[in-house]
């Protein structure tokens, strides 16, 4: 028989609350996304970069927060330009934002041409090969929807080289050159002291001068807080919209967005010297009480976050108190040491907080030895989802 998860969320008949995923009784826990906080974060960023346009990066299912729900919310908040990774994501954004401008970051191939027209989206051109295919496509289709040209200013990932960009700059003299945005991507904006930042800014400034009259975009979330010289015409925040800190080492200017809870299935006594979990990786050094929680690596709780001998643990919150994960994380389960809590404070059916209530997304990522991007985009589909306006 399933354990009844204690929750007040599902019982709230609030018009400003929508839900998705499995029902509460069929889920391993509850993921709450604060859409109001996303709006507040967007408005803070937009005000900071004025008069530049503040777009929104909603790839990866809006960083795990729901691409349709987030797009709809940001559209109402005034966002008119969205960036996604794939055409499939662009289709989902277009279904919600009929008149928005949508850029597809992962490039163009000839086979994508019909979809570009169907969805009225703009590919980001990442190589001279793609540019040649794009030219052939617009010549044959007479499509004039435009594309972005991505220039690699030092990240060495996607993008045409600086020399290649300079060589094709004269194309903007043509009537239907097809380039509506010049863009690049900062590699180290979250590390203000890194010399690559200034190098990339200088490189992009030189290329912008050759594409005079074309809108440009350089700043990501951390770039917005690095220097106004990165703002150009359009900024592209992603992670900061969802509450992660774009200024590591400094107070987080963004509002938290995520609250993640999972149900406690059982509280058991473990005698001193007994082990917990696969591989007997953790041994009780005292008589202990262990709470078994209905979330594991299938739900995005990274396996490396668990405690083994000699390793600092990731902590969850139970009854407002931090409790370490002990033993290896299983596919569907994890174990918490709740020995230091009063016996009556931890019960079957109670919720443990994985993210939220002061346990920040950044802190969770740090404890797991990863980054907030990975934590967010790995959130599993077995959680009942709640979007609060």
Q: Which residue, 312, 272, 316, 280, is CA-closest to 295?
A: 316
Cβ-Cβ contacts under 8 Å for 287 (sequence gap 6 or more): 269, 270, 271, 272, 339
Q: Which of these is catalytic: 42, 43, 59, 297? A: 59
For residue 195, what are its two tokens? 């010399």
Residue for token pair 């400094």: 250
The dihedral built from the CA positions of residue 128, 129, 134 and 135, taken in this order, carries a sign that is positive
Angle of CA points 146, 151, 154, to nearest 5°: 160
Q: Facing residues of 355 across strands?
A: 260
Q: Helix-strand-coil percent breakdown of the chain, rounded to 5?
A: 35, 25, 40
Query: 157: exposed, middle or buried (C-beta count within 10 Å: 0-12, 13-18, 19+)?
Result: exposed
Cβ-Cβ contacts under 8 Å for 211 (sequence gap 6 or more): 149, 165, 169, 172, 179, 182
Q: What is the C-alpha to C-alpha distance for residues 362 and 355, in angstroms, rounded to an integer?
A: 10
Q: Which of these is catalytic: 42, 231, 250, 278? A: 278
Which letter, b or e, does each residue of 27-51 get, where b requires 16 or more Cβ atoms within 10 Å of its Cβ?
bbbbbbbbbbbbbbbbebbbebbee
Q: What is the C-alpha to C-alpha distance for residues 182 and 178, in angstroms, rounded to an integer?
A: 11
Residue 278 falls in the annotated catalytic set: yes
Q: What is the C-alpha to C-alpha distance for residues 90 and 287, in angstroms, rounded to an integer?
A: 54
Pairing of β 321-326 and β 315-318 = antiparallel
Q: What is the C-alpha to C-alpha distance for residues 151 and 207, in angstroms, rounded to an integer?
A: 8
Q: What is the C-alpha to C-alpha distance for residues 296 and 277, in angstroms, rounded to an integer?
A: 12
Residue 43 falls in the annotated catalytic set: no
What are the residue numbers of the active site?
59, 278
């Amino acid at each position: 028989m399933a354990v009844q998860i204690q929750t007040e969320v599902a019982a709230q008949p609030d018009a400003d609350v929508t839900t998705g995923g499995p029902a509460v009784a069929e889920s391993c826990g509850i993921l709450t996304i604060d859409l109001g906080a996303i709006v507040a974060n967007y408005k803070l960023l937009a005000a900071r970069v004025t008069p530049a346009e503040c777009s929104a990066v909603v790839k990866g299912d809006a960083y795990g927060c729901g691409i349709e729900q987030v797009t709809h919310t940001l559209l109402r908040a005034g966002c008119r330009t969205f960036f996604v990774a794939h055409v499939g994501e662009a289709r989902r954004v277009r279904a919600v934002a009929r008149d928005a401008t949508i850029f597809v970051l992962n490039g163009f191939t000839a086979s994508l041409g019909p979809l570009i027209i169907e969805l009225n989206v703009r590919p980001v051109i990442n190589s001279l090969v793609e540019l040649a295919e794009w030219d052939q496509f617009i010549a044959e289709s007479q499509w004039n929807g435009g594309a972005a040209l991505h220039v690699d200013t030092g990240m060495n990932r996607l993008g045409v080289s600086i020399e290649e960009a300079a060589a094709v700059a004269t194309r903007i003299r043509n009537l239907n050159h097809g380039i509506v945005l010049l863009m690049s991507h900062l590699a180290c904006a979250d590390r203000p002291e890194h010399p690559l930042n200034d190098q990339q800014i200088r490189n992009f400034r030189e290329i912008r001068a050759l594409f005079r009259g074309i809108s440009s975009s350089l700043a990501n979330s951390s770039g917005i807080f690095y220097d106004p010289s990165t703002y150009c015409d359009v900024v592209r925040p992603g992670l900061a919209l969802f509450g992660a800190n774009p200024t590591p080492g400094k107070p987080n200017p963004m509002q938290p967005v995520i609250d993640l809870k999972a149900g406690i299935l059982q509280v058991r006594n473990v005698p001193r010297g007994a082990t917990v979990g696969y591989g007997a990786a953790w041994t009780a050094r005292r008589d202990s009480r262990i709470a078994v929680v209905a979330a594991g690596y299938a739900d995005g709780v990274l396996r490396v976050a668990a405690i083994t001998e000699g390793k600092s643990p990731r902590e969850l919150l139970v009854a407002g108190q931090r409790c370490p994960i002990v033993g290896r994380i299983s596919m569907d389960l994890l174990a918490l040491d709740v020995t230091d809590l009063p016996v009556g404070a931890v019960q079957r059916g109670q919720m443990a907080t994985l993210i939220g209530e002061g346990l920040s997304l950044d802190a969770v990522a740090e404890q797991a030895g990863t980054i907030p991007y990975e934590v967010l985009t790995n959130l599993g589909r077995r959680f009942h989802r709640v979007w609060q306006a």
